[in-house]
Chains A and B, each alone.
Chain A
Amino acid sequence: MEHSIDDRPELFENLRLELRRGCLALAVLSQLREERYGYTLRKALEEAGLEIDEGTLYPLLRRLESQGLLQSEWREENKRRKRFYLLSAAGTRVLGQLLEEFHRINTSLDRMTAETASWT
C-alpha cells in the first residue's frame, strides 16, 4: 500500500535536512570571512535566514578546522574566554571553489525547476 507524502511528514523533513546539510559548510565558511565566535556566528546565520543549532554548528566548526579550512584562537571578550574562528588561506580557496559549484548547481536547478513548473 502506498502512502502519500501527507501521511509521512518525516519524509519531507528528512529530505529537507539532507538538502540543508550540504549547504551548511558553505554557509559557515562564507560567514567566517570575518572573525566570529560560535554564538555570534550562529546569530549571523540566523539573521541571514539559516537557523542552525549549537549541536550541529560546533562539531561542524571543529571538523572544518581539523580539515585546515578554519583557524581559531581563544581570546577574552566581555570578561569571558571565547574561541574565535576565521577562514584560513586554504579555506578561502575552498570557499571560492564551493561557491562556483553552488552557483553552477543552482543555475541547473533553476533551469530544471522552471521546466517542471511550465508542465504543471
Chain B
Amino acid sequence: MDLIDRYLSAVHANLPRTQADDITAEIGDGLHTEVEEREVDLGRLLTADEIVAVLRAHGHPRLVAARYARQQALVGPLLLPFYWRTLRIALSVIPALIVGIGFIGAIGRNDANLFFAGLGAAWDAALCTFAGVTIVFALLERYGPDAVTSERIAQWDPRSLPREATRATPMPYICAGVDAVANGIAAVVLLQLGVLRGGIPVLALPAIGTWPVQPTLAWQPLYVAVLISSIVLTLAGLLAFASPALLKLRDVEGVAASLLIIVGAAITLGSGPLFAGNAGPLEAICRQCIVGGIVVLVVVAIKHGRDWLRRERAAATPMAPEVST
C-alpha cells in the first residue's frame, strides 16, 4: 500500500459511510492526476518526500473528511445562545436542588454524611445535566433548525419586542419548549414519589435506611397541586412550542399554576404536622420553606399577570406612525 492509498484509506475511514467510496474515488483521482502531471513536468517519478509534500498540501485526512460531514457543528450559531442559557440555568438549579435535599436529609437524620453525599451526587448530576442538555441541542441542531427554528424565526412579530431596553432573552417558543421539558421531568419525579390510592396519587416517600420520619397526608394538597400544575404546564409548553399562537396564553397558565400551588401549600400548612414521628427541626424547616415558596409564587403570579396585562394593552394600542424629521 503506497502513501497515497494509505492517505485515501484514512480519509475513507472518516467519511459518511453512504458516500465514502464515491468521495474517496474522486479525491484519489485528483491526487493521482496531480502526481502524474508533476511527474510529466519533471520527467521523472516523484520522490517519497515530494509525495508527502503533495499529501500535506491536500490536508489532514480528518480535516478533509470533515468538510463532507452533513453537520459541521455540534451546536450551530442559531442555537448556541439558547444552549448556553439552558445550560446555565440547568447547571445552577439541578445541583443546587440535590445539595438542598442532602442538607435537609442531613438535618432530618442528624447525619452530616448525607450532606456530603449530596455534594457528591450534585457533581454527578451536573455532569449528567451537561451531557443531557448537549445531546438534546445536538439533536435539535441535526434535525431541528431547518424544520423548526428557521420557520419560527421567519414568523417573528416586531410588535412582540420589549418596549424597554432589556438584555436579550431566548425566543418565547424556545422558553416554552424548555419549560415543557422541565415540567415534564418534575411531573415524572413527583409521580415516582407517590403511590396510587383509589386512583389518586398520594405522596409516599420510599423508606431510606433508618429514616426516622415519614410525610403525613398533610402534604397531599400541595403534592397534588404541584403535580397537576406540572402536567398542565408540560402540555401547555408543548402546545406553545408547536403553535406560536398559543404563546400568549403562557402568562395566564403561569398565574393559574402559581395560584393553584399557593392554595395547595396553604391547605398543607393548615393540615397539621407534616411528618409522623419526631421530625425535630425538619418540620420547622419544611414549614419555612413552604412559606418562602408561597412568597416566591406570589411574586411569580404578579409578574405573569403584569406581563399579560402589558401584552394585552400593547396589542390593543395601535402603532404610532413614524415621524420624519
Interface residues of A (CB under 8 A from B): 37-39, 42, 53-56, 58-59, 62, 74, 80-83
- Asked if A81 meets B30 with Cβ closer than 8 Å, knowing A55-B63, A62-B68, the reply is no
Contact residues, B21-75 vs A (CB, 8 A)? 22-23, 25-27, 29-34, 57-59, 63-64, 67-68
CB atoms of A58 and B27 under 8 A apart: yes
CB distance from B323 to the nearest CB of A (A): 30
CB atoms of B29 and A82 under 8 A apart: yes
Starting from the known contacts A42-B30, A55-B58, A83-B22, 9 additional A-B residue pairs (CB-CB under 8 Å) come to A39-B30, A53-B58, A54-B31, A54-B58, A55-B64, A56-B67, A58-B27, A62-B23, A80-B29
CB distance from A80 to the nearest CB of B (A): 6
Instruction: Name the residue on A nearest B19 (C-beta).
Output: A62
Residue of B25, B30, B32 near A54 (CB, 8 A) is B30
CB atoms of A59 and B29 under 8 A apart: no
Chain A contacts of B64 at CB under 8 A? Answer: 54-55
Assembled-state Cα–Cα distance A82/B67 (Å): 21
Assembled-state Cα–Cα distance A55/B22 (Å): 15
Interface residues of B (CB under 8 A from A): 19, 22-23, 25-27, 29-34, 57-59, 63-64, 67-68
Residue of A55, A62, A83 near B29 (CB, 8 A) is A83
- Asked if A37 meets B29 with Cβ closer than 8 Å, knowing A55-B58, A62-B68, the reply is yes
Chain B contacts of A59 at CB under 8 A? Answer: 67-68
CB atoms of A58 and B30 under 8 A apart: yes
CB atoms of A83 and B67 under 8 A apart: no
Assembled-state Cα–Cα distance A59/B19 (Å): 12
Chain A contacts of B34 at CB under 8 A? Answer: 39
- Asked if A54 meets B29 with Cβ closer than 8 Å, knowing A39-B34, A59-B67, A62-B68, the reply is no
CB atoms of A38 and B58 under 8 A apart: no
CB atoms of B33 and A55 under 8 A apart: no
Assembled-state Cα–Cα distance A62/B25 (Å): 13
- Asked if A81 meets B29 with Cβ closer than 8 Å, knowing A39-B34, A53-B59, A54-B58, the reply is yes
Chain B contacts of A37 at CB under 8 A? Answer: 29
CB distance from B39 to the nearest CB of A (A): 14
Assembled-state Cα–Cα distance A55/B32 (Å): 15
Assembled-state Cα–Cα distance A39/B27 (Å): 9
Chain B contacts of A74 at CB under 8 A? Answer: 25
CB atoms of B25 and A81 under 8 A apart: yes
CB atoms of A55 and B26 under 8 A apart: no
CB atoms of A58 and B59 under 8 A apart: no
Instruction: Name the residue on B nearest A60 (C-beta).
Output: B67
- A and B contact pairs by CB, cutoff 8 A, 11 listed: A39-B29, A53-B57, A54-B27, A55-B58, A55-B64, A58-B68, A62-B19, A62-B68, A80-B32, A81-B25, A82-B29
CB atoms of A38 and B67 under 8 A apart: no
CB distance from A72 to the nearest CB of B (A): 9
CB atoms of B23 and A58 under 8 A apart: yes
CB atoms of A58 and B29 under 8 A apart: no
Chain A contacts of B23 at CB under 8 A? Answer: 58, 62
- Asked if A38 meets B68 with Cβ closer than 8 Å, knowing A53-B59, A58-B23, the reply is no
Of B33, B57, B58, B68, most buried by chain A (CB within 10 Å of CB) is B33
Instruction: Name the residue on A nearest B28 (C-beta).
Output: A80
Chain A contacts of B57 at CB under 8 A? Answer: 53
Assembled-state Cα–Cα distance A7/B110 (Å): 63
CB distance from B225 to the nearest CB of A (A): 53
Chain B contacts of A54 at CB under 8 A? Answer: 27, 30-31, 58-59, 64
Chain A contacts of B29 at CB under 8 A? Answer: 37-39, 80-83
Assembled-state Cα–Cα distance A71/B80 (Å): 35
CB distance from B108 to the nearest CB of A (A): 56
Instruction: Name the residue on A nearest B64 (C-beta).
Output: A55
Instruction: Name the residue on A nearest B69 (C-beta).
Output: A59
CB distance from A86 to the nearest CB of B (A): 15
Assembled-state Cα–Cα distance A42/B57 (Å): 14
Of A39, A62, A81, most buried by chain B (CB within 10 Å of CB) is A39
